Structure 1
């Protein structure tokens, strides 16, 4: 297979460019999407010209059968659509609108907030005899104080 216009290679180039520009988190989401789609394809690359509605519908079903939520499925689809659109802009393929029959919206999610008394109990726990658990609790509290900042974003704070 000629790999110049393959999806996997194109995504790897985009990921490298994102990392080079310092967009680490975005590069990680692209890498996660590539890993998921590659798993769906049994790690067999696909030419950009071969991506069709049926390819994307099959991928959507594959994700759904693995128990992913509609928003997670949409997350992967939106990234793949952005990659595909970039390939179209770069004249690597014609726009065949392969995403027109898959869900790319965002559903409203139910809030899963802990009651304040539970957060206070967690904060006040004496975990000095278990440093790893104490560290985990401290990271949770830091995330709480930072209004829900994700762990990965906290890890990259400077």
Structure 2
């Protein structure tokens, strides 16, 4: 049993997450455990196999598998969480800064926002396909709802919309959100809801858009599986829409969220407002979303500042 304690602790924690209805988090932990088990080339893993050297080699292994830094960080932080549980239980030795040589931070270099020209095409150019028009309409709503994540959009219930205002809690963090529905959004909602009015099961959510069936309670595993299927389908449709419109940029469901944040930044919106509109609990999270200003934008500001100082009249300096 001692030789499999790490695997046992990990599976117990995954089962606890599932029992709490946190199926998405449990899914990622399961992937991290599976990946590390494959790397260790053993059906079960012991705490003794989690060393600085093995973690360093595992980090290199994930890099060779072409995982992005943020994915590597997620796996490492999940392994660290399980290891710390073993330390707290007295079955794993405490090792100071055990994970010091692997990446557990956040890579802010890779931004998912797309250029405004591509964003305009994505949201407004006619794809000449009814199926892709529906995908485009959903993408439009996500952008118009302050970069709302797909998870929040599909889980909106009819009761969340009252007198032109959406009031709901974010799926990921539970943060309370409120969004006023613009006229353009109201038209799209009316069009999408008019075509999808599937009946929900007793005691189950009555979803606004009918993307999810409403046949399962939110904390049930079947509900999470259905959501994952809907997300894959939406991302595939976004790729088809991108190809149809000849976009140069890669597009996923998170493109709309990052692009909303970056567009707001370019329009001079304070980062505090952007952060609150996205439902972030920390401005540091918002900064990860924001794409850096292009050189032309920085040059424009630089010229304005230079001109302002150069052309300042002496009398103005005295006031």
Is the TM value for this pair above 0.5?
yes
The answer as to whether partners of 2:142 and 2:150 remain within 8 angstroms in 1 is yes
| 76-85 or 117-126, larger mean C-alpha shift | 117-126
SS in 2 for 1:61: helix
Q: Which runs of 5+ in 1 are unaligned?
A: none
| Deviation per residue, 1:75-95 (Å, 9 max, x gap) | 211111111111111222121
Q: Distance in 1 between matches of 2:138 and 2:30?
A: 25
SS in 1 for 2:136: helix
Q: Which residue of 2 is the match for residue 20 of structure 1?
A: 19
Q: Which residue of 1 is the match for residue 105 of structure 2?
A: 105
Aligned CA RMSD, in angstroms, stands at 2.7
The answer as to whether partners of 2:37 and 2:45 remain within 8 angstroms in 1 is no
Q: Distance in 2 between matches of 1:145 and 1:43?
A: 49
Q: Distance in 1 between matches of 2:32 and 2:153?
A: 22
Q: Which residue of 2 is the match for residue 48 of structure 1?
A: 47
The answer as to whether partners of 2:3 and 2:45 remain within 8 angstroms in 1 is no
The answer as to whether partners of 1:60 and 1:102 remain within 8 angstroms in 2 is yes
Question: Cα–Cα, structure 1 residues 79 and 149, in superposed 2: closer, same or farther, change >3 Å?
Answer: farther
Structure 1 residues 126-137: aligned runs within 5 Å: 126-127=126-127, 129-131=129-131, 133-137=132-136
Q: Which runs of 5+ in 2 are unaligned?
A: 158-319
Runs of 4+ in 1 over 6 A off after TM superposition: none
Q: Distance in 2 between matches of 1:149 and 1:43?
A: 41
**What TM-score do you get using the length of structure 1 for normalisation?**
0.78
Structure 1 residues 134-149: aligned runs within 5 Å: 134-149=133-148
For the pair shown, the structure with the greater C-alpha radius of gyration is: 2
